[in-house]
Structure 1
Amino acid sequence: MDYATQSFVFEHIIPISRNGKTIGDNLAFACGGCNGHKYNKIEAVDPVDNVMTPLFHPRQHQWLAHFAWNEDCTYVIGLTPIGRATVEALQLNRQGVVNMRKLLCLIGKHPP
């Protein structure tokens, strides 16, 4: 959070518009950009299989099971349908975020 391109916000993992509640188990920190891209989505199309699939759920899924870093740790790679759909829907590799990861790598602060 010290080096975020935008302030972190509380994200409703299951959006209120999808009957999500404002309780601890349904809240997670997210960057404002990712949260904005997620909006009210709980699923998205896997770009490989072209099948609607659930988005990553930080309380139910393990990050390493669905995501990895590319060789220089600047791009998030979706390893599973959930990972790929999440990378695409939240635009996790948008240019500003990738640029920030590059800078953080130079000072030894990335990957986390």
Structure 2
Amino acid sequence: MGHGEKYQCPMPNAQNRRTTVHPTPRVEWAFPPIFCKGNRVSEIDPDSNIEVRFFHPRQDQWDNHFQVDTTSAMIVGTTEKGRITVDCLEMNSQPQMMARQLWIRLNLFP
């Protein structure tokens, strides 16, 4: 699959089963997200109880909202927007972290 290519979402009850593939941050590889957010663009932050928009790669700076723990390969949200995005998109799922650990060992990420 190439950058921006479409794929069929495997989630049985996904609201939007056709989704654009997003590239991984700082790496020119693309992969389908584990969790499809459908048409949602925001979520209620449990700490502040306010609605927070997800990180948008064309409007937001990665470094302003996330850090990578290179020991564990976890992505840590450093702002409300980052935390909501990490949680809702399941960015620290086991398959994601395994891929990141490999990329870190190969000096391909971050």
- TM class, shorter-length: 0.5 to 0.7
Aligned residues between the structures:
91
Q: 1:73 to 1:109 in 2, by over 3 A?
A: farther
Partners in 2 of 1:58 and 1:43 — Cα distance?
A: 14
Identity of aligned residues (%): 29
Deviation at 1:80, TM superposition (A): 0.6
Alignment TM-score, normalising by the size of structure 1? 0.65
Equivalent positions of 1:52-63 (< 5 A) are 52-63=51-62
SS of the aligned residue for 1:37 comes to coil
Q: Which has the higher helix share?
A: 1
Indicate the structure whose relative CO is greater, using CA pairs within 8 Å and at least 6 residues apart: 1
SS of the aligned residue for 2:71 comes to coil
CA RMSD of aligned residues (A): 2.8
Partners in 2 of 1:74 and 1:106 — Cα distance?
A: 10
Maintained 8 Å contact 1:77/1:84: yes
Equivalent positions of 1:1-112 (< 5 A) are 9-10=4-5, 29-30=22-23, 31-34=31-34, 36-72=35-71, 74-111=73-110
Alignment TM-score, normalising by the size of structure 2? 0.66
Maintained 8 Å contact 2:70/2:104: no
